[in-house]
Amino acid sequence: MIENRPWLTVVSHATLMIGIALVALPVWMALVASTHPASAFGVGHIPLWFGDAGVDTWKTVLFEKAGNGIDTPVFFMMLNSLVMALGITFGKIAISLLSAYAIVFFRFPFRNLCFWIIFMTLMLPVEVRIVPTYEVIANLNLLNSYTGLTLPLIASATATFLFRQCFLSIPGELVEAARIDGAGPFRFFFDILLPLSRTNIAALFVILFIYGWNQYLWPLLITTDDAYYTLVMSIKRMLSVTDGDIAWNQIMATTLLAMLPPVAVVIGMQKLFVKGLVDSEK
């Protein structure tokens, strides 16, 4: 800043550190809780420092069973979550790339109508149309299937808009040069458009992966077979065990494991994440 006011700098750092501590508080508590045996709870408080049962608890939930009525291990549910998250991510990116390509680089009747139909999907989150969508999936016999988990969520206007925006920013002369160079629609798509959209695709990948991994209500509704349970939704099932029998240490470990992959993605790919977040809100 302009003036040299050391106390302001100190205040800034202090505020930020307090903020960080508050933001990290629940995760810290959960981490501590997961290292104590189940018997340590219910005696009046959650312990404030690490116990010695951590390795056992984490091993059990990760590889044996998550507990609290869920017999599949977290590791297995992670795979389900991964399948769902990647399915949604790749599905969204693929169909959005294609439709944005059609809308930007071709002229055809009802082009605007198609655009508006896609636009309308922006308006309706799954949460709003949950009952009828469930019925559609039930009618199509897609309950308890990976297809049912992913397919209804891959129609989204956001990605189409983002790619449309990105394609529109490609200079017209470049397209013309490619046409003079003899590139048809397919070559142009693969040789020019995809490489030029690389960063946008990667940024969107990060955002969509988080979105897909964190799906909650949808998998909760359409999976009743624990072979298809995803990690985030299973927490709710774990919590519905009667109060006295809840193994809090296992729930905490499972919760932490459930947030680990997307948090790792955000921290590991911070730059792409920020870009994706800012772009998808344009």
Partner 1 sequence: MTDVVLENVGKTYPNGYHAIPSVDLSIEEGEFIVLVGPSGCGKSTLLRMVAGLESISEGELRIRGERMNEKEPAERDIAMVFQNYALYPHMTVYANMAYGLKNRGVPKNQIEEKVTHVADMLGLTELLQRKPGQLSGGQRQRVAMGRAMVRDPKVFLFDEPLSNLDAKLRVQMRVEIRQLQRKLGTTTLYVTHDQVEAMTLADRLVVLNKGKAEQIGTPMDIYNQPATPFVAAFIGSPSMNLIDANVTEQGVKISDAVTLPLSHEHRGEVVWGIRPEHLVVCDEKNADFALRIQAVESLGAETLIHGVIDEKSGKNEPMVVRLAGPHLPDINSLIWLTAPVQHWHLFDAKTQQRL
Partner 2 sequence: MTVTFPQKGLPWLLLLPQLLVTAIFFLWPAEQALEQAFYQEDAFGLSREFVGLENFIDLFTDPLYYQSMLTTLLFSFSVAIFGMSAALLLAVMADRVIRGKLAYQTLLIWPYAVAPALAGVLWWILFDPSMGPIALWLESAGVDWNHYLNGNQAMILVVIASTWKQISYNFLFFLAGLQAVPRSLIEAASIDGASPFKRFWTIVFPLLSPTTFFLLVVNLVYAFFETFGVIDATTKGGPGQSTTTLVYKVFEDGFIGLDLGGSAAQSVVLMGIVGLMTVIQFRFIERKVQYS
Q: Is the Cβ of residue 47 or residue 65 nearer to partner 2 in the bound state?
A: 47
User: Which three-class secondary structure state does DSSP give residue 127?
Assistant: coil
In DSSP terms, 70 is beta-bridged to: 67
Catalogue the long-range contacts made by 215-222 (C-beta closer than 8 Å, 24 or more residues apart).
215/84, 215/85, 215/88, 215/149, 215/153, 217/126, 217/127, 217/130, 218/126, 218/149, 218/152, 218/153, 219/84, 219/149, 221/130, 221/134, 222/134, 222/137, 222/142, 222/143, 222/144, 222/148, 222/149
In DSSP terms, 6 is beta-bridged to: none
Binding mask 43-62 for partner 2 (x = CB under 8 A): xxxx-x--------------
H-helix or E-strand spanning residue 64: none
Number of residues that bind partner 2 (CB under 8 A): 105
- Give residues with Cβ within 8 angstroms of 63, minimum separation 6: 73, 75
Q: Is the Cβ of residue 60 or residue 232 nearer to partner 2 in the bound state?
A: 232
Report the amino acid identity of residue 89.
Answer: T
Binding mask 163-202 for partner 1 (x = CB under 8 A): --------x-xx-xxxxxxxx---x---xx--xx-x----
Could you say which of partner 2, partner 1, none residue 187 binds, taking C-beta under 5 to 8 angstroms by partner kind?
Answer: partner 1
CA atoms within 13 A on the CB side of 104: 23
Task: Map the footprint of partner 2 across residues 99-128, applying CB under 8 A.
Answer: 99, 101-108, 111, 114, 117-118, 120-125, 127-128
Could you say which of partner 1, partner 2, none residue 270 binds, taking C-beta under 5 to 8 angstroms by partner kind?
Answer: partner 2
Query: Which token pair is 48?
Result: 């404030």
Inter-residue contact 126 to 153 (CB < 8 Å): yes
Number of residues that bind partner 1 (CB under 8 A): 17
Is 38 a binder of partner 2 (CB under 8 A)? no
Query: Which token pair is 183?
Result: 């590139």
Is 96 a binder of partner 2 (CB under 8 A)? yes
Residue 180 CB, shortest distance to partner 1, in Å, is 5
Query: Which token pair is 260?
Result: 């680990």
Q: Is the Cβ of residue 7 or residue 186 nearer to partner 1 in the bound state?
A: 186
Binding mask 243-262 for partner 2 (x = CB under 8 A): -----x--xx--x--xx--x
- Give residues with Cβ within 8 angstroms of 137, minimum separation 6: 143, 148, 152, 222
Query: Which token pair is 110?
Result: 């009802």
Could you say which of partner 1, partner 2, none residue 29 binds, taking C-beta under 5 to 8 angstroms by partner kind?
Answer: partner 2
Q: Is the Cβ of residue 154 or residue 272 nearer to partner 1 in the bound state?
A: 272
Task: Map the footprint of partner 2 across residues 177-236, applying CB under 8 A.
Answer: 179, 184-185, 188, 210, 213-214, 216-217, 220-221, 232-233, 235-236
Task: Give the residue among 160, 45, 175 at the shortest CA–CA distance from 114.
Answer: 160
Residue 169 CB, shortest distance to partner 1, in Å, is 12
Could you say which of partner 1, partner 2, none residue 155 binds, taking C-beta under 5 to 8 angstroms by partner kind?
Answer: partner 2
Q: Is the Cβ of residue 181 or residue 245 nearer to partner 1 in the bound state?
A: 181
| Site of interaction with partner 1 (CB under 8 A) | 171, 173-174, 176-183, 187, 191-192, 195-196, 198
